[in-house]
């Protein structure tokens, strides 16, 4: 499973060069050209890393990062900027960025920093998500709770991955439907039915329930 990186920059040349570099290093890449587009994409889908330019034409990168963190989004963020003062770097890290790279930069260094953020977030050898005693190994799609393997269908795996990536934040119906079906579900009960099956598999045999319903808002997974 190749990690997907969102690259946000208003320079077509930078987007093209960064995309080519990361794809050559076995990553999938999506792009956005402004802050509003970045926030929209990250509200609909999870990314392994966001490479985020500060100097965007509408909503600047600092505001984008601050908004994401306020919304509970923990996606690792690598800031790009032409500003090289200490104050600018401190401000970027202060609003929640994980790393900082000054333009012009080496594509080799950018790749190394993205890889380091992925390892830091998901582990060196395998990408594992953990919530309490629930473990989801993304590299093998194996799910275990309390050391006991749990079998899930592809839809259940997709929903669980999204909930665990966003934990403890609430994930909306529209975001889950976008992850599973690319938009609207086949019918209004499809998502609810799949979450019921997921809850039966994850929670039924255990005293502590991890999956929670938030009426009118969505679902979350946490202790």
CATH number for position 166: 1.10.10.10
- Strand-pair category, 49-53 with 77-81: parallel
Higher pLDDT, 50 or 117: 50
Residue in the structure block whose two tokens are 């190749």 = 2
For residue 192, the enclosing domain spans 128-221
Task: Tell me: do 80 and 25 sit in the same domain.
Answer: yes
pLDDT for the residue numbered 66? 93
Mean pLDDT of all residues in 188-202:
90
Tell me which of 49-58, 165-174, 204-213, 214-223 is least confident: 165-174
Domain stops at, among 122, 140, 157? 122
Residue in the structure block whose two tokens are 């994409």 = 41
Task: Tell me: do 111 and 132 sit in the same domain.
Answer: no
Does the pLDDT of residue 67 top 80, yes or no? yes
Q: How far apart are CA 193 and CA 212, in angstroms?
A: 15
Q: Does this model's pTM top 0.85?
A: no
- CATH number for the domain spanning 51: value is 3.40.50.2300
Does the pLDDT of residue 125 top 60, yes or no? no
Count of structural domains within the chain: 2
| Per-residue tokens: 202 | 């994850």
Task: Tell me: do 163 and 179 sit in the same domain.
Answer: yes
| Predicted confidence band of residue 89 (pLDDT cuts 50, 70, 90) | low
Task: Tell me: do 47 and 21 sit in the same domain.
Answer: yes
Mean pLDDT of all residues in 40-60:
91
Task: Tell me: do 207 and 172 sit in the same domain.
Answer: yes
Task: Tell me: do 53 and 146 sit in the same domain.
Answer: no
- The 3-state DSSP composition of the chain as helix, strand, coil percent (nearest 5) reads 40, 20, 35
Mean pLDDT of all residues in 68-89:
81
Contacts 24+ apart (CB under 8 A), 57-60: 57/10, 58/34, 59/34, 59/35, 60/35
Task: Tell me: do 95 and 11 sit in the same domain.
Answer: yes
Does the pLDDT of residue 36 top 60, yes or no? yes
Task: Tell me: do 154 and 74 sit in the same domain.
Answer: no
pLDDT for 137-157, tens place per residue?
887 889 999 999 999 998 999
């Amino acid at each position: 499973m190749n990690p997907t990186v969102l690259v946000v920059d208003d320079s077509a040349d930078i987007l093209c060069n960064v995309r080519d570099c990361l794809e050559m290093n076995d990553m999938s890449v999506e792009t956005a050209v402004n802050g509003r587009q970045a926030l929209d994409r990250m509200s609909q889908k999870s990314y392994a890393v966001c490479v985020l330019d500060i100097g965007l034409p509408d909503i600047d990168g600092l505001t984008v990062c601050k908004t994401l963190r306020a919304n509970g989004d923990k996606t690792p963020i690598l800031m790009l900027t032409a500003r090289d003062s200490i104050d600018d770097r401190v401000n970027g890290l202060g609003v929640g960025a994980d790393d900082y790279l000054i333009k012009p930069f080496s594509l080799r260094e950018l790749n190394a920093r993205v890889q380091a953020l992925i390892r830091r977030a998901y582990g060196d050898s395998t990408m594992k998500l953990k919530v309490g005693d629930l473990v989801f190994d993304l590299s093998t799609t194996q799910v275990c709770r309390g050391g006991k393997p749990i079998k899930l269908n592809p839809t259940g795996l997709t929903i669980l991955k999204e909930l665990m990536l966003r934990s403890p934040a609430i994930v909306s119906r529209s975001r889950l439907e976008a992850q599973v079906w690319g938009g609207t579900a086949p019918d209004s009960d499809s998502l609810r039915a799949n979450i019921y099956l997921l809850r039966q598999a994850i929670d039924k045999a255990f005293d502590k329930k991890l999956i929670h319903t938030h009426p009118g808002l969505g679902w979350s997974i946490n202790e």
